[in-house]
Amino acid sequence: MGAQERTQKEKLILDSAIKLFIEKGYQATKMDDVAKSAKISKGLTYFYYKNKEDLYMAVTRKAFDGLKDVFREVYRTKNKNGMELLVDLVQKYVDFSQRNRMFYEAILNFMGMLNLYNDKELRKTIDPLILDSVHFQKLLDVHHDCGKIGIQIVSQGIKDGSIRPELQPELTFYTIWSMLIGYERLSGPINYEGKEIKIHVDNWKPGFIRLMQDMLKGTIQASRPQIVQGSLF
């Protein structure tokens, strides 16, 4: 079997798995289902992907590749300063998370898994089939690629003066990323009709962006409490 045919078979299986994970969910999908959907024998499916865990890690790699494409597209935009690129990134990141729900959940799942992986004792709680996946090992090498691009965008903003010069690019970007994850996670509670808080979902995104801009431009300043002088007598 040639390299091109092997690549085509891998892609066919991966695309079938993605379709089923979206339709049925990861837990409900079986390798038999993937093989039937791809019209490939079960044995050949296992030849390319050792088990469902290995296949899910391959899907997660594809998800990271898709998110990285979003970051690249923004960074390559011409005639915009760093702040404008960050605003574009926020818009496109939120759009990606909403249009590619299964991919986005896979990305967040891997990020959460790293909390366990970084601790030698907690690492033992991760499914050994995942740890054994070649795609998991590759994810350990590439999962920071999006962050690296984001840091470059912040650095560009500091250089062109659209972002405060005293900010540290790495810390700044990962803080923004954490805010974006929180924004996406809270979209459901904010949009829930029975809520008592007075935030409309249509106003939340522009408000989020304005607050981010104010933070990065330095227009938010802490006010010092006024010292009241008086006599004790």
Chain region(s) in the chain for CATH 1.10.357.10: 51-216
pLDDT of residue 233: 28
Asked: is 1-49 a CATH 1.10.10.60 domain? The reply is yes
* Residue closest to 93 by CA, chosen among 212, 189, 213, 180: 180
Q: Is the pTM of this model over 0.75?
A: yes
- Every domain range in the chain assigned CATH 1.10.10.60: 1-49
pLDDT the model gives residue 153? 98
- What is residue 201's predicted lDDT score, i.e. its pLDDT? 72
Name the residue among 63, 67, 66, 56 with its Cα closest to residue 136.
56
Can you give the pLDDT at residue 1? Answer: 61
pLDDT number for residue 227: 45
Given this model, what pLDDT does residue 67 score? Answer: 98
CA distance 190 to 202: 10
Give the CATH H-level superfamily of domain 51-216: Tetracycline Repressor, domain 2 (1.10.357.10)
Average pLDDT by stretches of 10, the chain with 233 residues: 81 96 95 95 94 97 97 97 97 96 97 96 97 96 96 97 96 96 88 72 86 84 43 32
